[in-house]
Structure 1
Amino acid sequence: MSKPLNPQRRIVGGRAVVNRDWIREFTGASAGTAARWYKIRLEQPEEHRHPEKERIDGADFYDEQQFRDFYTWFQQEKASKVLKADPELYELDPETVVSINKAAELLNFSGASVIRKYQQANPGYFPDSVGEVEGPTGRMIQAFRVGDLQDFDRKRTGDRLGKAGRRPGPQPGAAVGRPSALEEVLAAELSARADGEPLTATQLAEQFAAERIERDGYHPGLAAELSVQYGGPQRAWEYAVRKALEHHPAAAPNRSEAADRRAAIALAAMSERGDVRGLAADLAREHGGSRDVWERAVKAARNLAGPTV
């Protein structure tokens, strides 16, 4: 079992320094990747180089602002090596629906088979189909919403602020470094606690999750509720809820109870909406958890309902 992260942020001489675990939490990098960034620092451009380590209380720390600068450069370098979308993608209305063939063309893929491979090998990576349209041979083929393709392309290129095709490298007037989504939505709360023990956004989210569990108990969909209440991606809150439950094991439902509860939710949804395509993904968004878990719940609901649903 891997050792849990212990992210730390300190103020030294009026500037913030962070430890390796903070870097891993901020970027999602593995221990090996984070170590390699430092190891090859002399191969990086001096103006964007990974900061040198500083020994504080027997542990290594790194200048936070310098690391954010490095990571921004690193992401942009990585983005510059990714295939860029056809500019037409951003000229279309986000609500426009296009065929899988057109989607592949807009994303500059070699063909629709690339999208199908993504769907088969990495479920959830590529946007869900929104239906079907007639293909060139008259056969019905998958269709996608242009806005979903635009969102996918922004994530694919690492450019979350503008259109694909932006010139790589630092942008004039752009902010150096980019806080995580949780840091952005919890900025005020983090600032209010600045005088106390330093907390990361994830640690603060865990506190909020733990407080809700202590007050109201755990229930499926808690992460979704916290995401609505405080903002930020639901996936980040799901992680916070899981960590909070580690400290409140009595509040966590056992596997069979949780599975039964999800099956009941899926059955109710099927009765209301029908056994529609994409139901598991919808339930995952509404109640939290992975699509795989909800696909099992939908399957269990089908068994409970029999052939009438």
Structure 2
Amino acid sequence: MVVSEGMPLRLLHEGRWVVSRAWVRQLTGASAGTLARWYAERHTRPEGCRHPEVVHTVGRTHYFDQQAVEAFWAAWQEDVGTGRLGTAGRKPGDGRGGYGGADRARREQAVAVALAALRAEGGYRRGLAARLAREHGGVARSWQRALNEARALYEAGDAGAGS
């Protein structure tokens, strides 16, 4: 019998197998946050795709009917698929540090400022991100990301101008 934090992952209760959240995590590969969300939002899902209710508790460990969990997981895979288990509330980004809209507009402005600084300096210099943070506000790490984007534009522009 496998145990988690001193509690078994699976045990026999009233003639049926019950499983802990740790067991469900192993079965599904979902994070603890995703499991908590599935359970919290179970009443918003259709009857066949709903996370099962707690049937037994030992200490602070909740146990669910194993057959119900397996049925839930099969229905979830059919409904949603295994490619995306469901994130714990993250929005999809554009891959460049923003979610679009105002965030991306601020990033574009920061990249433009960084590009102007690169042109004025004749290229990248160590400490440039910290200087931009002091002059324009914000943190050096955010300016470093803006500089990384600006450097790619700067270097592409220089390569294109020389050809």
Which TM-score applies when normalising by structure 1?
0.23
Greater share of residues in strand? 2
RCO (CA 8 Å, sep 6+): is it higher in 1 or 2? Answer: 2
User: Highest Rg: 1 or 2?
Assistant: 2
